[in-house]
Each structure stands twice: as C-alpha cells, then as structure tokens.
C-alpha cells in the first residue's frame, strides 16, 4: 500500500466543517465570527509518551486526547486537527485500530481531521489541534490571584503508578493494574469542564508533567505562590481504593506523576458554588486542594501544618530517569 | 539543559501578532476579518526528507520552506506556525543553527512561531503552518479547465540530481553539484507568486513529489487531462547549464524528481499577459509547459509530436526505491 492509498483508506473522510479537507495542498477553513483561535501541538514518541504494549486503538485515542487536553486548559472548544504520522511500515491492523481510536474521540468532540502528513520512519505521532474561544475568554496560566482557591479535576497519579508497574518497580494486584493502565492509556480530556469554567477560573493548566510542576508554571506566569493541602491531594489516586499504596509511592505519583491530563485551575472563593455546579453539570469530579498566596513560594502542607520537604519534580523529556 | 530551558533559549521570542504565544497550554490568535484560514502540516524524517550531510541551518530553512510551499500553492499568506521537534539529544550547536535557519525564513515571510513541542527521540521535525486567504480566493487543485495553459515556476529536477549524486549514482562537476545541492537543501517557497495568482490561476499545486505525479493530482481532482510539451520541460533543470546531463537522467529528474517546491498552475490563455506580469513583479521565472484537455489522459509530447512512453513515477514515501 502506498502513501496516498493509506491516507485514503484510513484517514480521509468527507469534509464537514472544513471548506477543503484532506487532499489539497492546504485545508481551508472559516473561523467563527467573534472568536479567537487556540492552537496546540503535541508529539508522541514510543518509550517517552507510550509503551510498545499499548494497543493501536488506545494510542489513537491518547494521541488526540493529550492535545485536546491543552484546548480544555484554555477553555477552548475543539474544532479541527492535523495529524503527521511517521510509521516504520504499513501495518493495516495497526492503522485500522489507531484510526478507530483517533476518530472515536474526534467524533465525540466534533473535532475534524483536516490535514496532515504520513511518512516512513521511526514511529512518531504529531498532532496540532485548533480550537475556538469567544474573544477575550481564553483562560491563561497567568491569571492566578492571591486568595484564589486551587482546584484539580478528576484523579491524579494513576498513570504514573501504571508506568512504575510496567517498569517492574512495583507490583500491583491485577484489578489495580488494569485501572491504572486505563488511566495511563486512555486519558479523558476535560473539555466540557474547561468550557464551563470560562468566566469563573482565573488561571488554568492541564496536568501533563505532574501536579507540582504544572502548578509551578501557573505560579511563575502569575507571579504568585501557593499553599497546597496534602490531605486533599492524597485522596486523589483512584488506585488506592483497591491497593494500599506505600506513602512514598503515593506522594510521588500524585505530586509529580505526569500523564494525568486533568485540569488544575484557580478561582475566587466567591465562585465556589458555581464551580461545584459546573462540576456537576459536566459530570467531572473537582477537588479544592489549596490557595494562591502573594508570597511566591509553593508549599505543600501536611495534616499537622508542617511543610512537606518536597523533592518531587515534574517530568522533563530531556532528563534521564 | 532541560526541555523548558531549551525552548526558552532557542525558540521563545516575544509574541508579535499572537495574543498568547509560546509558554501557555495553547497559543491564542485572532484571524483577520473576511479571511479563510489555510492549514498544512509536513513531517521531515532523516533519510527520507533530508540527508545527515545537511547543515542544521539549512535543515531549519527547509523544514519551514516545504510547509510554506503548501501555503503558496493555495495562494495563502503565511501568518503563523507550530513546531514539534524530536531530538536524540540536546546539541546546542545543532539547535542554534537549526533555529537560525528556521527564523531567518520565518521572519522574511512574517510567519510567527506560536507553539509546539519538544521531546527526546529519533530526529523528527513536524511543522504545521497557518495562512490566510481572502474568503473564497484559495486556489485549489480541482479548478483546472480544458483549454487552460499549464505553467510551472522556477526550475525542476536539480534537487533529485543532487540526491543521485549523494547516493553515488552519478558523478557531477563540483560547480554543478554545489548548485544542485543548494536547490535540494534550501528550496524557495514561491509565496509572492502564489498570492499574485489569486484570481488568475484556476488550479495550483506545489511540486514536491515530481512534476508528473503532482500534475496528476490536479488532473484527477479536476476531472481533466493534459498534454505536456517535453521541449519546454527539458530546459527547466538549472544544472544543465554547467553539465551535460544524460537524457534519461534529465527526464527522470525533471518529470519525477521531487523536492522541487515549485508551483504548478493552470490558467486561461486570456490571462497570459497578466501571468507574465505577475512573474516579473515577483521576480519568479514562470514557464508555460502545456495545456489542459477534456480527455483525461496525461500525455508528454516530444518535439516531433510523439508521445513519451513514460515510466516516470512520483515519489511515494512508502515505496522502496
């Protein structure tokens, strides 16, 4: 199968919102009046962002999900994406599973594949997503204000736990492993919550490199600090329901796990009721875990008010670990 | 050097047109009123799209140039791009050269880097470009009409000649090799010509996979055929000025060379004067090489009116050759 047949067979569908979709030099597309555009790009490499054990279907889901998560973190609505794919060989079963996982999520979010590229080479998946947000309503990292509550959506740490199990660093009961693996391989981009936080959240980021690392980006961009309540964070790992996680492992996973694709956001305490309503309306768990401070330090406080001596770092793709 | 320092040092610049540039979850950007957006994505892999002998500076240029060429082929004006980069290691000299080549071209075309991703892995460069075109004026592959003239910009075949020399398949005089190599490594996207053909060209494509292959895309999309005048095409290889190219090599290079990044377009004979004026105004050579026919065949005719029995195929990234 050649390049063009591959594209035709697995990736070309009738253009919907796009004026010109796949098959010309460019996709042509009309933005909605009164909206700004949000763009994000993520590249996935085997061994760094996924393991060889992942099914093609889950990989297709995840490749788009991590990109959509960036749109969610701005409060943007997904509209379209471009996919560049480098493949060692044409493997029809792989392409079939990958494209199904990709399009299932794309269709669920009305996000149209409008272009891209395929080539032969080491497996590499590069996606650019395009979203829209009403002008001036994008939620940035730089808007956190002293006194803001700090929230996270969903659950933290399970993806990291799965990674440690795959590496053989820990051993998990099967039910716990299955759950953690699902969290790692099929993350849920929190798009509905992100949109519903427009006008409520002052700052937002998605947690891809770990809670403390990504919170650190918000603090630095906003010129503020934070106090994080450790007991509120410790309960966020799903796996602890079926497995008694050692404390050091628990802290490492929830504080600096990475691959969570949950939203971290800050909002005025005046909006607490509206935020709980948004969480309910979008069926997304939301937990209040701390407060923004004018002092620029990031402190994690234990139950008895002591500062956790944190050595938990965020994920760095060029660090060796 | 970590991921964030790498981005800061080599790729982060003050946002210009972008409302939010590099450093948030998404770039935020306002499209111009009355315009449609054109998107294209190209992924470059070592050994497929470039050789290990290319300098980082030329590679930075080429990675963006091949993407801009797609915008040129729609008559779009470049506005912004996203860069996803997978690197085996942090090599400061490489990054410095690569980013210089990239930004020199980006600045010359007022195309702003607004986002992207970096990770560790086999060298891979994935770029998505965003351009604008006044609504309804994008030039597509599907607009060719019987009776249209067929044109190409610039020169054809030299990049393929350089590739054959690098592979050791042919031997070139140094001056010829240097010229061919420059054509291969630093292609010129024909953006000014592309924009000036709005309202003149009926169909357009950029020649990345070879003249016959890319013309074939236009013919198929438009439901037409073409007669190409071989003598008009044979003169398009620059290298023949300094080297007597064997005929088979010449035909292979100009008809199916690939990596040319010239524009191929069709236009009514009524526009001949305007097209020559556009070529002059944009300092871009333009050659008339044939005519569009209602018969859907693609014929290449020799000087004495005979049909060339063509076995020249276009480049396929999954074909083995």
Cβ neighbours, 10 Å, residue A227: 17
CB contact under 8 A, B221 and A29: no
Residue A315 has a pLDDT of: 54
Asked if B179 and B238 touch (Cβ cutoff 8 Å), the reply is yes
pLDDT in tens, A258-270: 899 999 999 999 9
Min CA distance, A287 vs chain B (Å)? 21
Contact state of B39 with A115 under an 8 Å Cβ cutoff: yes
Which residues of A are less than 8 Å from B222 in CB distance?
A: none
Interface contact flag, B1 A318, Cβ < 8 Å: yes
Q: Are A139 and A198 in contact (CB under 8 A)?
A: yes
Contacts of residue B61, Cβ cutoff 8 Å, sequence gap at least 6: B101, B102, B104, B105, B185, B186
In which band, very low, low, confident or very high, does the pLDDT at B312 lie, cut at 50, 70 and 90?
low
Closest by Cα among B184, B300, B181 to B233: B300
Residues forming a β-bridge with B229: B301
The residues of chain A scoring below 50 in pLDDT are 320-321
pLDDT digits (tens, 9 = 90+) for A305-320: 899 876 665 555 565 4
**CB-based contact B117:B7 (threshold 8 Å):** no
CB–CB contact B25 A130 (8 Å) = no
Q: How far is B223 from chain A (nearest CA, A)?
A: 14
Q: State mean pLDDT over B163-180.
A: 96
Q: Which of B20, B39, B63, B220 is most worth mutating to test chain A (most A CB atoms within 10 A of its CB)?
A: B39
The answer to whether residues A125 and A99 touch, using CB atoms and an 8 Å cutoff, is: no
Please give the DSSP secondary-structure letter assigned to residue A135.
Answer: T
Contact B37 A28 (CB under 8 A): yes
Q: pTM of the full predicted structure?
A: 0.94
Degrees to nearest 5, angle at CA A8 with A4 and A10: 115
Q: Which value does ipTM take for this structure?
A: 0.93
CA-nearest residue to B315 within chain A is A3
Measure B303 CA to nearest chain A CA, in Å: 32
pLDDT digits (tens, 9 = 90+) for A281-290: 999 999 999 9
| Residues of chain B contacting residue A49, judged by C-beta atoms under 8 Å apart | 119
CA of B107 vs chain A CAs: smallest distance (Å): 20
pLDDT tens-digit series, residues A146-169? 999 999 999 999 999 999 999 999
Instruction: Please state the rounded mean pLDDT for residues B125-139.
Output: 96
Cα dist. A15→A114, B11, B76 in Å?
Answer: 7, 34, 20
Q: Hey, of A5, A11, A24, A72, which one would you mutate to test binding to chain B, going by the most B CBs within 10 A of its CB?
A: A24
Q: How many residues does chain A have?
A: 321
Residues A122, B119: C-beta atoms closer than 8 Å: no
Quick one: three-class SS letters along B249-298?
A: HHHHHHHHCCCCCEEEEEECHHHHHHHHHHHHHCCCCEEEEEEEECCCCE
Which chain B residues have a beta carbon less than 8 Å from that of A42?
84, 117
Q: Cβ B117–A43 below 8 Å, yes or no?
A: yes
Tokens 């001056």 locate to B175
């Amino acid at each position: 199968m050649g390049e063009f047949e591959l594209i035709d067979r697995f990736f070309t569908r009738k253009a919907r919102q796009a004026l010109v979709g796949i098959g010309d030099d460019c996709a042509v597309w009309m933005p909605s009046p009164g909206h700004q555009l949000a763009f994000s790009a993520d590249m996935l490499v085997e061994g760094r962002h996924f393991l060889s054990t992942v099914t093609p279907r889950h990989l297709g889901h995840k490749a788009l999900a991590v990109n959509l998560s960036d749109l969610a973190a701005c409060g943007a609505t997904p509209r379209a994406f471009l996919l560049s794919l480098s493949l060692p060989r044409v493997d029809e079963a792989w392409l079939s599973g990958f494209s199904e996982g990709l399009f299932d999520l794309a269709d669920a979010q009305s996000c149209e594949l409008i272009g891209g590229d395929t080539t032969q080479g080491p497996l590499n998946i590069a996606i650019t997503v395009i979203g829209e947000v009403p002008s001036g309503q994008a939620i940035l990292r730089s808007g956190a204000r002293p006194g803001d509550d700090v929230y996270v959506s969903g659950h933290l740490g399970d993806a990291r736990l799965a990674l440690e199990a795959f590496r053989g660093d820990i051993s998990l009961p099967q039910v716990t492993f299955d759950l953690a693996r699902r969290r790692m391989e099929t993350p849920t981009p929190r798009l509905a919550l992100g949109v519903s936080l427009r006008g409520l959240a002052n700052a937002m980021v998605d947690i891809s490199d770990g809670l403390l690392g990504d919170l650190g980006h918000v603090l630095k961009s906003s010129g503020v600090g934070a106090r994080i309540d450790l007991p509120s964070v410790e309960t966020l790992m799903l796996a602890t329901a079926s497995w008694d996680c050692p404390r050091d492992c628990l802290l490492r996973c929830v504080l600096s796990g990475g691959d969570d694709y949950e939203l971290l956001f800050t909002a005025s305490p005046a909006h607490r009721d509206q935020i709980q309503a948004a969480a309910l309306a979008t069926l997304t768990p939301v937990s209040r875990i701390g407060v923004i401070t004018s002092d620029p330090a990031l402190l994690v406080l234990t139950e008895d008010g002591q500062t956790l001596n944190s050595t938990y770092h965020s994920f760095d793709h060029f660090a060796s670990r």
